[in-house]
Chains A and B, each alone.
Chain A
Amino acid sequence: MFDAVFRNITFLLGGFGVTLELTACALVGGIALGALVGLGRISPKKWIYLPVTLYVNFIRNIPLILVIFWFYFVMPIIAGSSLNPFVSAVISFIIFEATYFGEIFRAGYQSISKDLVSAAFSTGLTSPQTARYILIPVAFRRMLPSLITQSIVTFQDTSLAFVIGLQEFVRRTSIVDNLEVRSIQLFGFVAIIFFIFCFIGSKVSHRFEEKGRRTGIL
């Protein structure tokens, strides 16, 4: 019943490999930039807070597909040469996902009470020690379920990169479909693969959430 899938399995899995690579790059960049964006969003300095807030609000209120399009078509005009679709997609995703990760980090940072920090200081711990042993571990445990959930969303979002011709999983599947004309089984296969990964991810996220609740950290 999956005959068309098996005939083209290497080509299709190659596309899935591109999807995984794109996801990995988007997550590393998006989470790193998001951690900074989160800091910017709680900054008391207006010249940091305002531009960062503007960036977050702007990006979060336009569809991802537009960010991908814009970046791909506008960049050559600014930079003078066209970017390779993979690099262009990675940068678009980092810009987009960092705003979502940024809000998760902001909430994580804000979940730490002033008195918890005072308690650590009052035992003689220094600021870097307090950050290392108290703030980061507690905030990270609180953020983990949301970070995993947003990572799953990012993984699903990467399929939108097909609009700029990137040969990721969905794009390659549609190429195969043009030859084989077996849409139901081919896209069914894609759906199953996405479902398995996302389902496992959401279970893991749920696990951490329950653990957080049980240990009183959430």
Chain B
Amino acid sequence: MIEIKNISKWFGDFQVLTEINETIERGQTVVICGPSGSGKSTLLRCINGLEPFQKGEILVDGVSLSDPKTNLYKLRENIGMVFQRFELYPHMTAIQNITLAPMKVRKWSKQQAKEKAMILLERVGIPDKADSYPANLSGGQQQRVAIARSLAMEPKYMMFDEPTSALDPEMIQEVLDVMIDLAKEGMTMLVVTHEMGFAREVADEIIFMDFGKIVERGSYEEFFKNPKSERAKEFLKQIL
């Protein structure tokens, strides 16, 4: 379980997050949407300790991020993250991208890491691309390798930061399909996206953020059919 308790964050004088509260139970999929600059990505980066925050507390399985005794490296092993621009290691093949962390962090043997990587590449539908470099893969394929890279650490949680917004339209679905399967298999997921088809299919809760605050939250039906705030109505008009 991830508990976000009243966190606030500033970049200098500018407040990017204001008193955010949210609890993500195991097995849930939570979709975060909102206009750009509303603090969605920053919130994700706070959850795995990539960004510090000044007020409040985040607990991951009861462990506080702001506790100086918490080993952030250890904590991140359990929280996978997928980025908008894939961020594959450009000097490594797909399979090397996937096996690096299991071998260096989990100390798996090369053999064991490779077997796991092949299973994952199979699962994201591109086992034939194992030895390709990122430059020779399409955007959709790169993002699927990035998902496999995160899954290789067998994380309890997966965070996605606009995973399809850098993709050509025809490649979006292949990435969403992988994510939908993952959600249906019971992975706990936190997804920043504007893909409403995805939200409809798997989201247990939708959070709408604006100017660093959670403005609205609810199920897909509640949010899309009957948004309460003016900002959410305006936003939905733009993306639908």
Mask for A121-142, Cβ within 8 A of B = 1, else 0?
1111110010001100110010
Instruction: Indicate if the CB atoms of A141 and B73 lie closer than 8 Å.
Output: no
Task: Give the chain B neighbours of A113 by CB distance below 8 A.
Answer: 85, 87
Instruction: Indicate if the CB atoms of B76 and A141 lie closer than 8 Å.
Output: no
Least CB distance from B111 to A in Å reads 19
Instruction: Indicate if the CB atoms of B90 and A124 lie closer than 8 Å.
Output: no
Task: Give the chain B neighbours of A214 by CB distance below 8 A.
Answer: 135
Asked if B183 is at the interface (CB within 8 A of a chain A CB), the reply is no
Asked if B153 is at the interface (CB within 8 A of a chain A CB), the reply is yes
Task: Give the chain A neighbours of B100 by CB distance below 8 A.
Answer: 123, 125, 133
Query: If A121-B50, A125-B100 touch, does A216 touch B83 (CB 8 Å cutoff)?
Result: no
Q: When the two chains form the complex, which single residue of B73, B87, B136, B150 contacts A115, counting CB atoms closer than 8 Å?
A: B87
Asked if A116 is at the interface (CB within 8 A of a chain B CB), the reply is yes
Instruction: Indicate if the CB atoms of A126 and B48 lie closer than 8 Å.
Output: no
Least CB distance from A185 to B in Å reads 48
Task: Give the chain A neighbours of B133 by CB distance below 8 A.
Answer: 215-216
The interface on chain A, measured as residues whose beta carbon lies within 8 A of the other chain's beta carbons, has a size of 22
Bound Cα distance A120, B133 (Å):
17
Task: Give the chain A neighbours of B91 by CB distance below 8 A.
Answer: 137-138, 141, 215, 217
Interface of chain A, helix or strand or loop or mixed?
A: helix
Q: Nearest B residue to A213 by beta-carbon distance?
A: B135
Q: Nearest B residue to A120 by beta-carbon distance?
A: B89
Least CB distance from B89 to A in Å reads 6
Mask for B127-144, Cβ within 8 A of A = 1, else 0?
000000111100000000
Q: Nearest B residue to A122 by beta-carbon distance?
A: B81
Task: Give the chain B neighbours of A115 by CB distance below 8 A.
Answer: 83-85, 87
Instruction: Indicate if the CB atoms of B87 and A123 lie closer than 8 Å.
Output: no
Asked if B172 is at the interface (CB within 8 A of a chain A CB), the reply is no
Bound Cα distance A137, B77 (Å):
23
Q: Which of A7-62 contact B (CB under 8 A)?
A: none
Query: If A123-B149, A124-B153 touch, does A118 touch B104 (CB 8 Å cutoff)?
Result: no
Bound Cα distance A124, B135 (Å):
24
Least CB distance from B49 to A in Å reads 8
Least CB distance from B200 to A in Å reads 27
Task: Give the chain A neighbours of B153 by CB distance below 8 A.
Answer: 123-124
Instruction: Indicate if the CB atoms of A122 and B150 lie closer than 8 Å.
Output: yes
Instruction: Indicate if the CB atoms of A123 and B90 lie closer than 8 Å.
Output: no
Least CB distance from B108 to A in Å reads 12
Bound Cα distance A126, B135 (Å):
26
Contact residues of A with B, CB < 8 Å? Answer: 113, 115-116, 118-126, 129, 133-134, 137-138, 141, 214-217
Contacts A121-B50, A124-B74, A217-B135 given; 5 further ones with Cβ under 8 A?
A: A119-B146, A122-B81, A124-B106, A125-B73, A138-B91
7 contacts between A and B (CB under 8 A): A115-B83, A116-B89, A120-B89, A122-B48, A122-B76, A123-B153, A216-B133
